[in-house]
Chains A and B, each alone.
Chain A
Amino acid sequence: MRLKAFSRLLFLATAMLMAGLASAEYQLNLKPAKTALGEAVYDLHTLVMIIITVIFIGVFGFMFYAIFKHRKSVGHQAAHFHENTTVEIVWTVIPVFILIGLAWPATKALLEMRDTSAPDMTIKVTGYQWKWGYEYLDDDVKFYSSLATPRDQIQGDAEKGEHYLLEVDKPLVVPVGKKVRILTTANDVLHAWYVPELAVKQDAIPGFIRDTWFQAEETGTFRGQCAELCGKEHGFMPIVVNVVSEDDYKIWVAEQKSAGGAAAYDPGKTYSVAELTSAGEAVYKAHCVACHQPNGSGMPPTFPALTGGMISTGPIANHLDIVLNGSKKNPMMAAFGAQLSDMEIAAVVTYERNALGNSLGDSLQPGEVAAARK
């Protein structure tokens, strides 16, 4: 009997798989939650899994008993019953009670989950194709957060780092133990803000705001991803939340305000090509690299090459115009005027002209960008 030998082999393989899973520490369950609400969700999941397992074993215990005992090959004669009102009522009513038992904790957790009242702070999260925008409504801090994993890791040209695809240039920073209310919206299509360990997932809908909340109970770095299909880079817009002590949070906010990120510049100063080029690299990686590629080769004809490109090596005013206002001819080139600061635009334009295989040597000053905006 080849089949018998085969099924024995199968049994062995399954046993080995189970042993393997048990020995190596695989993540087989929800990740342990870092919020009280997350714990409630975790417990609810455990409860429903216990109920399911018990019913499963019960029902299929009967089935496998029947399969082994009530088979023709052991000479079992078929009975002829085909209904039993009592039994049928029992197995309709008992599940109803089990479900009521489940609905109770589920309702409690749900009401808790949707209670966004009395927050300690509010952060607006905006989904963009393909990055996140964060705006602290109480502290007046605002920035974009995009994938920091280098493209060569994704293409397999470099070894993948520990936090491959789950690392960003600027993480969200929040204080521990505070109720953080998240308002979500989106710029273009649907996105969803999802951080498993904080038990948060909320769709971001263009034109409308939605709210959710979390209150982290320990400090640490928590990583998540966009959970709603939003186009080609959907898999490449991670979320990183740094939960820090309240003091550290205050220091961080102060830093943000004084530095103003790359947005601040000294209006009296003339920046050198080198300064702008080095500042521009980060901007390029955050906003341009998905289409124009790390080396500037683009994907012609849709996404033209910047290396030796018509615009990136042409008059600098045209170059500035297309970055600021988008392209009139090629609808794929978006306007970045609203997203990037004067300094960032000056830096990225200079970078594109003096890196990626170009070396024009000219530069754009942030003041000129401000002037071009009128």
Chain B
Amino acid sequence: MSQSVLKRNRETLRKLVVVALLMFGFGYALVPLYEKICEVTGINQVVKPDTVVNTQVDKSRTIVMEFDANARGDIAWELIPRERKRTVHPGELVHVVFDLKNTTDVSVQAQAIPSFGPQRAGLHVKKLECFCFTQQEIRAGESRELPVVLVVEPTIPQDVHTVTLSYTMFEVGGTQEPKTAMRPTGGNG
């Protein structure tokens, strides 16, 4: 092959390798991109305090807030909302309490992840104070009250009447992960 063709080939090779590397990077770039999109659309809630833009109470509308909680992993603990349901007005400051009980004999490091149903409501429910902002250490046998302060913003779409706020509590770096990691899709006999 002539030198000029070889040179062109190397040039094409170089460009294509760069494209391949960029696309590998793009796979990873999808991670923050996805988080950003979720944040903007309210799918997943970032675990940090929100600032409220508008606290004008809109007495003409009522929203049913439902509260739900899950504690994951193979450990004996419970997370329970003290009340299941509250009817609120947009703009109103809402205080709710979740009860966490660790019935094991070890202390547990825990992180709660909030989630909303319907997801788009998450964009309009602002958490001013939440136990999900920090990790919680719950000592063996301890019971603890976990407060949440939130505001449903008046910007919430007109067709949303019920909003569920659900927390899932995970053990941080706990026994749960290795346990599930080693459980095979075992035999059935």
Interface residues of A (CB under 8 A from B): 115-119, 122, 124, 126, 137-138, 140, 151, 155, 181, 183, 185, 187-188, 206-211, 231-233, 290-291, 293, 297, 299, 302-303, 324-326, 331-332, 334-335, 337-338, 373-374
Select which of B104, B164, B184 is within 8 A of A211 by beta carbon. B164
- Tell me, in angstroms, the Cα distance from A138 to B181 when the chains sit together: 35
Chain A residues near B160 (CB-CB < 8 A):
117
**Contact indicator A337/B66 (Cβ below 8 Å):** no
**Contact indicator B117/A116 (Cβ below 8 Å):** yes
Chain B residues near A140 (CB-CB < 8 A):
84
**Contact indicator B44/A303 (Cβ below 8 Å):** no
A183-B164, A331-B183, A338-B77 given. 12 additional CB < 8 A pairs?
A119-B162, A155-B189, A183-B166, A185-B166, A211-B118, A232-B187, A291-B186, A302-B187, A324-B76, A326-B179, A331-B182, A374-B141
**Contact indicator A373/B76 (Cβ below 8 Å):** yes
1/0 contact trace for B159-189 toward A, CB 8 Å? 1111010101010000000111111111111
- Tell me, in angstroms, the Cα distance from A211 to B178 when the chains sit together: 30
Nearest chain A CB to B178 CB, angstrom units:
7
Does B110 reach chain A (CB closer than 8 Å)?
no
Which of the 9-residue segments B51-59, B67-75, B87-95 touches chain A?
Answer: B67-75
1/0 contact trace for B1-36 toward A, CB 8 Å? 000000000000000000000000000000000000
**Contact indicator B117/A338 (Cβ below 8 Å):** no
11 sampled A-B residue pairs with Cβ under 8 A:
A117-B118, A181-B162, A209-B115, A211-B164, A297-B189, A302-B187, A331-B183, A334-B74, A337-B75, A338-B71, A338-B77
**Contact indicator A332/B66 (Cβ below 8 Å):** no
- Tell me, in angstroms, the Cα distance from A332 to B78 when the chains sit together: 22
Q: How many residues of B contact A (CB 8 A)?
A: 43
1/0 contact trace for B93-128 toward A, CB 8 Å? 000000000011100000001011111000000000
Nearest chain A CB to B35 CB, angstrom units:
14
Knowing A119-B162, A183-B68, A331-B178 touch, does A206 contact B187 (C-beta < 8 A)?
A: no
Nearest chain A CB to B37 CB, angstrom units:
15
Select which of B44, B68, B178, B186 is within 8 A of A124 by beta carbon. B68
**Contact indicator A208/B113 (Cβ below 8 Å):** yes
Nearest chain A CB to B55 CB, angstrom units:
24
Chain A residues near B78 (CB-CB < 8 A):
338
Chain A residues near B170 (CB-CB < 8 A):
207
Knowing A374-B103, A374-B141 touch, does A302 contact B184 (C-beta < 8 A)?
A: yes
Chain B residues near A183 (CB-CB < 8 A):
68, 117, 164, 166
Please indicate which of the listed interface residues A183, A209, A297, A338 has the most CB atoms of chain B within 10 Å of its own CB: A209
- Tell me, in angstroms, the Cα distance from A115 to B180 when the chains sit together: 36
**Contact indicator B76/A299 (Cβ below 8 Å):** no
Knowing A338-B71, A374-B103 touch, does A211 contact B141 (C-beta < 8 A)?
A: no
**Contact indicator A137/B66 (Cβ below 8 Å):** yes
Nearest chain A CB to B34 CB, angstrom units:
13
- Tell me, in angstroms, the Cα distance from A373 to B119 when the chains sit together: 36
**Contact indicator B189/A209 (Cβ below 8 Å):** no
**Contact indicator A332/B168 (Cβ below 8 Å):** no
Closest B-chain residue to A332, C-beta based? B183
Select which of B68, B184, B186 is within 8 A of A209 by beta carbon. B68
Select which of B84, B141, B179, B186 is within 8 A of A302 by beta carbon. B186
Chain A residues near B77 (CB-CB < 8 A):
338
**Contact indicator B76/A338 (Cβ below 8 Å):** yes
Chain A residues near B70 (CB-CB < 8 A):
126, 185, 187
- Tell me, in angstroms, the Cα distance from A337 to B77 when the chains sit together: 9
Nearest chain A CB to B117 CB, angstrom units:
4
- Tell me, in angstroms, the Cα distance from A265 to B170 when the chains sit together: 31
**Contact indicator B186/A232 (Cβ below 8 Å):** yes
Chain A residues near B44 (CB-CB < 8 A):
208
Knowing A117-B160, A209-B164, A335-B76 touch, does A137 contact B68 (C-beta < 8 A)?
A: yes
Chain A residues near B189 (CB-CB < 8 A):
151, 155, 293, 297, 299
**Contact indicator A187/B104 (Cβ below 8 Å):** no
Nearest chain A CB to B69 CB, angstrom units:
10
- Tell me, in angstroms, the Cα distance from A116 to B162 when the chains sit together: 9
Nearest chain A CB to B61 CB, angstrom units:
13
Nearest chain B CB to A75 CB, angstrom units:
49
Chain B residues near A232 (CB-CB < 8 A):
185-188
- Tell me, in angstroms, the Cα distance from A324 to B120 when the chains sit together: 39
Knowing A211-B118, A337-B76 touch, does A299 contact B162 (C-beta < 8 A)?
A: no
Chain B residues near A335 (CB-CB < 8 A):
74-76
Closest A-chain residue to B180, C-beta based? A188
**Contact indicator B115/A332 (Cβ below 8 Å):** no
Nearest chain A CB to B148 CB, angstrom units:
16
**Contact indicator B161/A118 (Cβ below 8 Å):** yes
Select which of A126, A210, A290 is within 8 A of B117 by beta carbon. A210
Please indicate which of the listed interface residues B85, B117, B179, B181 has the most CB atoms of chain A within 10 Å of its own CB: B117
**Contact indicator B117/A299 (Cβ below 8 Å):** no
Chain B residues near A138 (CB-CB < 8 A):
84-85
Chain B residues near A116 (CB-CB < 8 A):
117-118, 162
Chain B residues near A206 (CB-CB < 8 A):
72, 168
Nearest chain B CB to A284 CB, angstrom units:
15
